[in-house]
Amino acid sequence: MKNQDVLVTFLDELYQGRLPSLDEMQYVNLMMDIDLFDIAPQVFAELRQKGLSHQVPEQVRLKLSSEADIVLIQNFLIKTELKMILQTFEASCIEVIPLKGTQLAERYFGGLAARGTTDIDLLVAKKDLHQASDLLISLGFDKVTGDPTHFHEEYVKPLNNASFPSLTVELHWNIIREDFTNTDVSRLWRDASLMSGCHYVYELSPLHTFYHICLHGMNHHMMSMKYFVDIATLIHVMDSRLEYAELLDVAAADRNLSKVWIALSLAYDMLPHLQRLKPMPMLPYKFKYPGWNLEKARKVMLGRKGFSYSWFRIVTAFTVHDTWGQRWSQLGFLIWNLPLLWIRKREIFR
């Protein structure tokens, strides 16, 4: 087995309830990748759920368990802050949907320790944006100056915690840049369900949760195995609740079909067992993502982007969008922003 294939083989086998036979050096390489892509909690949770945690070397199990414990503490802190924020929104009669984060970890990954997060993402209606902003500021958050063409605003609050000094809240009014998409956000609200005991706090439907995860991965160009693990885990957990025909219809209506199809295709190519578990439907045409490979993702996560990454971003601008208007908007964005994108490091892939 080649070193660069160890992580992929391990994950594909793990999801099927077994482990590949690895030697000591392969486990070293595996742990380097798990650390690089920040997926230790997901791997440890999957090992425990499959009853395989004692089949890995003790030092590997202890390392994974330690990382999961760190995530548990951090996620508990974030969940506490989220609860206070949501209670404030509820009391102020502002409709809100938490995205990803601790909600995703608990509902679909098996618990707070099963998937790390570093911030809080909230979806609000555009009409409520100003009032929601005022609420966050009243709770001690400061607004961060950002890209006015983006689909969210950032707010930061200092915390009295040496290991977690600040918390960021992203206030979304969409789940993807509006100049690159026609996403109908009202559909997300229409299909969302109220959380228990609430009148204004909602959660996304399983379909839209999966849809958002695919778009989130593509927003970061699938340059981390974390996005593959997210997609694979949701496919396993949602199973019959996830209908690809409906998903692709929604994506096509929103002009996001190429993004969703590429995210799924990459995940299915990376983890072949997914095709046996939940076969992908056939399309009369294929969307491609030229230049993507796992080695490039590793280099990007290490901050070593170089010319090949810049070229990859330019070329894929013509393949990842459904319309020519979106493609030219993306290309114009890249021309102005590639120097910044080139120097940014791995912390953007959270």
pLDDT, tens only, 77-121: 999 999 999 999 999 999 999 999 999 999 999 999 999 999 999
Q: Which helix (H) or strand (E) holds 97?
A: strand 97-99
φ and ψ at residue 288, rounded to 5 degrees: -115, 160
Q: Give the confidence band of 334 by pLDDT, cuts at 50, 70, 90.
A: low
Check pLDDT > 60 for residue 172. yes
pTM: 0.91
pLDDT higher than 80, residue 31: yes
In the three-class reduction of DSSP (H, G, I as helix; E, B as strand; rest coil), residue 193 is classed as strand
Report yes or no: 75 and 100 within 8 Å, Cβ to Cβ. Answer: no
- Of 31-35, 194-198, 282-286, 334-338, the one with minimum mean pLDDT is 334-338
Q: What is the structure's pLDDT at 45? A: 98
Dihedral sign computed on CA atoms, order 103, 126, 211, 344:
negative
Q: Residues 222-256: pLDDT tens digits?
A: 999 999 999 999 999 998 889 999 999 999 999 99
Confidence of residue 348 (pLDDT cuts 50, 70, 90): very low
Average the pLDDT over 130-147 and give the result: 92
Mean pLDDT computed over 265-277: 95
Model confidence pLDDT, tens digit, residues 284-309: 666 778 899 999 999 999 998 888 88
216 — pLDDT class (breaks 50, 70, 90): very high
* pLDDT on residue 339: 53
- Per the prediction, the chain carries an average pLDDT of 90
pLDDT for position 3: 42
d(CA 248, CA 105): 25
Instruction: Give the C-alpha distances (Å, rounded to integers) separating 106 from 69, 103, 339.
Output: 15, 5, 38
Going along the chain from its start, the domains and CATH numbers come out as 76-204 (3.30.460.40), 206-349 (no CATH)
The answer to whether residues 96 and 133 touch, using CB atoms and an 8 Å cutoff, is: no
What the block records as the tokens of 268 is 């299915």
Helix (H, G, I), strand (E, B) or coil at 261: helix
Question: In the structure, what pLDDT confidence band is assigned to residue 220 with cuts at 50, 70 and 90?
Answer: very high
Q: What is the mean pLDDT of residues 56-65?
A: 98
Q: Average the pLDDT over each of 70-74, 118-122, 280-284 and give the range with the smallest value.
A: 280-284
CA–CA–CA angle 240, 246, 251 (5° rounding): 130
> Which candidate, 307, 152, 293, places its Cα nearest to that of 222?
293
